[in-house]
Chain A
Amino acid sequence: MREQELLEYFLLEAEEHLASLHKGIAELDPGADCEAAIEDVFRAAHTLKGSAAIVKLNVTSAIAHRMEDILEAIKEREIALSSSAIELVTSMFEAIGSIVGGLGKGKAEPEDIVDGFVKQADEFLTRERVSAPEEPAADVAVPETASALRRLVSPVQATASERFDRRKAPDDGELYYGNFIRIDIQKIETMLNLIGEVTIKKNYLVQRSREAQDIIEEITFAGNRLLKEVGDFSERYAYSYSPQGAEKHADIFFTGFGELEFDRYDESNIFSRKLQEITNDIHEGLKQLSSLYENYIQDVRAMDQDIRLLRSDISETRMIPVGRLFQRFNKAVKDMAKAHGKRVELKIQGGDTKIDRVVFERLFDPLMHIVRNAIAHGIEDAEARRELGKPEQGEIAFSATQEGNVIVIQVRDDGRGIDVDRLRQKAIKRGMIRENDDVTKEELFGLIFHAGFSTRDDVDMTSGRGIGMNAVRSQVSALSGVVEVDSEKDRFTVFKLYVPTTLAISNVVVFRSHNAEFAIPVTLMAEVTQLDIMDGLESGHGSINYRGRRILVKSIADFFGSSRIEDLLNKFVIICNISDKKVGIIVDTIIGQEETIIKPLNHFLDGLSIYSGMTISADGKVRFVINPVTLFEADLRPQFDIAEKLGEDLSPTILIVDDSLSVRKYVANFVESHGYRALAASNGHDALNILHGDKADLVITDLEMPVMHGYELIRRVRSIEYLRDTPIIVLTSRGTKKHRQMALDTGADDFLVKPFDENALSDVIARYVIRQA
């Protein structure tokens, strides 16, 4: 157990050393003055060697040791910083990286690689030293190959640098010994989760105390009325001066006294006085309650303040400078530029801006997509650049700035930019806009985020066909962020990502729809409006006027395939930013705005991509966090120009819709073996997406599926003009007459029951596909 624990600490540490190695190696450049980088790499290799040896990772330690030897020789100017030296160091770095990666997954060190590296390094050092102009310093022993194996088993010997290290330690020693300690990131996560729970409870408490205040006010009002009524009553009845002299209670005892010598107390007098006393007590109690409540509210406010401070402090521990994320692209940019035969330089600005580690991790993929696109399509080759009068070396610049709770990350390349006219032509050709449509430049740029839309016609290894940009938008949106693009032809393209600095606590608007509660991050919202009768919306999806432009709207119920005609009057519309444009989500009621923790979706529910997570309200309700990008995905797909597809594959196409992978595979194999082309979708929603992009000659669908069931799919297909005539066969395990009748009524052409007879299926297919042809 102890060893395992040690290993975990090592892995924690190794990540950091690998990062500095990565950064340092990227800066190494033959012929340039890069002493600082050499020093960094040397130190990282040295420390790594030492810590690996402690946890008995002899392979890692031996490789790091050789790396250290080489760097030391370079540092002492015994050998030159040649490109072959950098290559060797890089290969060693990569080997260590992959070993450490493997260790993290529970793999053992690969022992067979060590000899190669040791030999390579030793030979390299011997060779270079001989060719070096100066003699090696006497106190540096040339490592012998034979000793390498001994080093594998014995603790790593101290090198000359160890002394150096001790000398140097006080300078930056406090990083390790002074005011700093290492904390497992898991610990911080746990604390953040707890503080999140506390925040939610606190918010609930605040909400409850508002209710308490209402009650107090009501009681106080009633109390005051009581006081007044009783007061009035007392004035009349507390003392009875009854001049009428109707003394019913004349006591024998009083008979000797004159009438005016006594106050007369009858029962109503006594009752009235008691009433007054009690009322005074109540009044006093209410006054105390009021002041108690005021103090209580002040305490809650003070606690609220403390919790906020605590939260921001803990969140801060999880924040890391965004520059470290950018650094990771150094090598990727170099490699990709090389692969494309281009020269590209990476520039970084604002790397000190801090960002939540979780956001950081999840930004890597989208940024990688953008960088890939920039190198593959954005930056021109040297010749084209020269003709345009640009420097031959292209530039990709990363920058980050913080604006309140949002961090703005920009990736800018000085390549060919986006050709607006070409984009417009393409959009017209694709049927996304019409010739005379008034479309702004921004709206046109937004089109590049659509699946299947790219301004490049060719497809290459690293960047596909616009699919990447669609994924970027979806991933950024899942981070409660927005991505925008701007460009000028032949000058630049810039992507701006607006993401929250932290995901520990999110501000969400909670709403009700489709008999469930949902949440949407405030960062994705523009505003909330009310649906106007003038919008003329007749079903749960369509478009409305918003600030002079048409925007798409959709109700949650409609998305889930509720075919009920909704009462759309007085419904609310949450206007959302989805990177390139605005869309509106129609909801039943808005519950309010609150702070909450968005929990990632349980992996069992991964495929429910319209949710970016779930939250639990203070009173224990589960709410689903909507990702507006995926909610509108189906509507945002371009409608391909069908003519463009002709000539690609003329065999009839069959779309198979079933939530069971095995059924999809089975039926696909079956139809393919009969000479048809097969497409597959796991639910009605995906099927519609495919049908929007690809022509199918026949649809085979299951009835019961998640997200959108078969009936709804049939209904939708039948309501879309250019899909209306597509034959639909239902293939289901629900064989009852009722289902059959309902399917046929909805618009299915045929009905087969699983398990199906292969001959029957092929007959049915032949019937409909031939009819089509």
Chain B
Amino acid sequence: MSMRTACIAGAAALVVTAAACSSSSSNSSSNVSPTGSQLSSQPTQKTGGSITVLESNGYSGSWSTLDPAQNKEGAATQDYMTAIYGQLFELGTGGKIVPDLATGYSFSPDAKTVTITLRQGVKFTDGTPFNAQAVYTNWERDLGPIGIKNGLNPPFLIKELPAPKGSPPGTPEPPAPGAIQVTGPYTIVVHQSVPNGAFIDQLFDSIATWIASPTALAKDPTGFGQNPVGAGPFEVVSNVPNSQLVVKKNPGYWEAGHPLLDQITFKTVGGDEAAYEALLANEGQVYENMSTTDLINESASHFEVENNLGTSPYDLQLNTSIAPFNNPKARQAIYAATNFTPILQHLFGSRYPVTESFTGPGGICYEPTVPGYQGYDPTLAKKLIQETGLNKVTFQLGTISIQTAQNAMEALRTEWEAVGLHVTVQSWPLQGLIAAFEGKKWQSMVQTAGAYDPASGVGVGFRFNSQSPFSGVHDPKLDALLQNAAGSTSLATRCSYYDQAAEYIAKNYYGPFYFTFSPANISVHGVGGPGLSTPLASVAVVPTIPWEDVYYNPGS
């Protein structure tokens, strides 16, 4: 199989300067590392001080609970969760897997059994020892009734309890006894029922990587989500959901000399503009994931802009279970009716690379063009629209209420109406968006798909797997392809399956892809750390900043 190479030419963006080429190796699933730009001068490291991190209202700034098993907002709230809980493994600079609360892992030769070794001598902030039993308690909750009820149970490919009679196929159930075993005080073993070499990658940003103190959970199961206790670099001082979270240094943190900061305040702001104003007024030092092109350009003259390479392309999800997109020709019409080049050029300043699959330049198995992908063809579009009667119905196009997504949606609507389609648009903040998906009546949605490793929880399966509540596709063949892609520990094999999956999606017109959005993280001068002053690949959409390594040195 061919090696995968990805070369990124500098776009018209002002700040990205480095052209990075990368190559993959075939013996591990995550040490590919296309990198973004590095700031020309790194601020000098300093211990102590505090910063305010601004979070956007429609996405990361919305949270209701910090209990991993109940946190529906999931990866969007990764900033808070990793600050409080740390992670088992972190995705580090250069795509390396960095041990955090876990020190190592090993796969059985058939890639079914994973053994994870945990760090010794770690304590939660309430004194409870961190060990395999604590991890087991958490995973029991995550995979059991609580996680299932919230639709969150991580897709561990393990044997589950038999479903009660009459449940629809694919109903999630708690793990069968023995599927997860504590084999020693600091070792835990997962017996997967199918080969899956992506298990560790799948842990990133999934609820299973955030381990809560079992004592605290037992003491106050309902209130825990407002007063979480973890073993991460910081502990909670005050928590006002959807508004402000203040955390301070965990004095007993396992890594000596870390965290570098004494305190972090996470503050919700209305959006890119509000964040920009707040940064200008020095009310915040960091803002992640700025998407408004004009404001990114403005920021470049006042602040440091770290352009990380993207891993999550924008895609248009089509709900194949209800009209009108249960008809493949209707879906093809959408493909043919979309010309994303002018949108990319005028709305996004051509900053981002076009892609036809669920992969991005920052992740593994990047494939920007897919054979058989239906491109822009207005004549064909009009013909198909007539044939399928798509011009006689009005369908809904939805997205998250962030300005950039809304603008993209508006631009699409305008293009489509020019070929005779009738579209109503709708946008929601994150919680409303989740509810819209759960309602199952959505017809089309502009979202992001893909992750650093497409097999991980918020990767492709999220949007294309028949089990996911956020997917519009229910196709066992695609499920099988994705499963095979995750099953191997050979990167080459995996990437070839992902290529096939992308082709299959294109052939069935399950949803067009647009471009890989790459998050720009803005910080004031003097802030340093991975993802802020040095590039970091995103697990999904935004990089997961390891807050223990962030520092703020205003003088430098």
Genuine A/B complex: no
A residues whose Cβ falls under 8 Å from a Cβ of B: none
